A = this chain, B = another copy of it.
Amino acid sequence: MKYSIDHKSPIPLHIQAEELLRSMIAEEEFQNGKLLPNEVDLAKVLAISRTTLRQAINKLVFEGLLIRKKRTGTKVNQATVSSKSNNWLSFSQEMKLRGITIKNFELHVTWVYPDEILANFFEIKTDRKVLKMERVRGRSDEPFVYFISYFHPRIGLTGDEDFKRPLYELLEMEYSTVATLSKEEISAHAADDIIANKLRITNGSPVLFRKRFVFDQGERPLEYNLGYYKADSFVYTVESRR
């Protein structure tokens, strides 16, 4: 069986089902509009109840990844090209979901002294070094984002970690640190020398700038992240209700 579910695992079945559906979604044939197996059959194959399967599907429908249609079936939502704000997929996962393979152009990890702003956010003194990570990423030979991240020393990162793994997974698995709250500020800027160079664009070109403050469960500061996106390569979507 290609897909299967472990009934003995402590991980809830609907979560397993959700993960499984996500990997199905990532597959090319479903990306191209092929219908997923119908609920009754799929539930039978996975040996879970239809209710449980629907719980998993519902979540993805809500996220906008799947679309249901009566008498027809359920398929991947092709219209959803842009990302949802409250979905916490990491950058690479997000891109993978859209069939874009990410290439890392640069990856520098160093220890630096924080400036005033950073020390203030982390609630530490400026003589305590923090881990800084710089990263340029993009598709094929075209970089489109330049990230700078600072991590709170509390986490316990050494700098020798495998930063090619999804970041939040790394933090969650290895350092039992879970990012639960993020405050972001988005604005447009003109690229300065450094950024223009990293993104291979001309000085003064537009970039989307995202500043991100990430907190853990206890609302303690975790990460300070700056992202410079080449214009038109990134669309930020927000949905709000009152």
Contact = CB atoms under 8 A, between A and B. Distances in A.
A163 interface: no
Contacts of A88: 240, 242
Given A59-B62, A207-B206, A242-B88, A237 B190 contact: no
Interface stretch (A78-86, A94-102, A106-114): A78-86
B180 A241 contact: yes
A86 B207 CA distance: 24
A234 to B, nearest CB: 7
Interface stretch (A33-41, A147-155, A181-189): A181-189
Interface string A182-215: 1111111110000000000000111111000000
Interface of A: 58-59, 62-65, 79, 82, 84-88, 179-190, 204-209, 229, 231-232, 234-242
Contact of A185 (B180, B188, B236): B236
Specify the main secondary structure of chain A where it touches its partner: strand
B62 A232 contact: no
Given A206-B231, A231-B206, A242-B84, A186 B62 contact: no
19 contacts: A58-B58, A79-B181, A85-B238, A85-B240, A85-B242, A87-B240, A179-B242, A182-B241, A183-B238, A184-B239, A184-B240, A185-B237, A186-B208, A186-B235, A187-B208, A187-B231, A188-B189, A188-B231, A188-B232
Contacts of A208: 186-188, 208
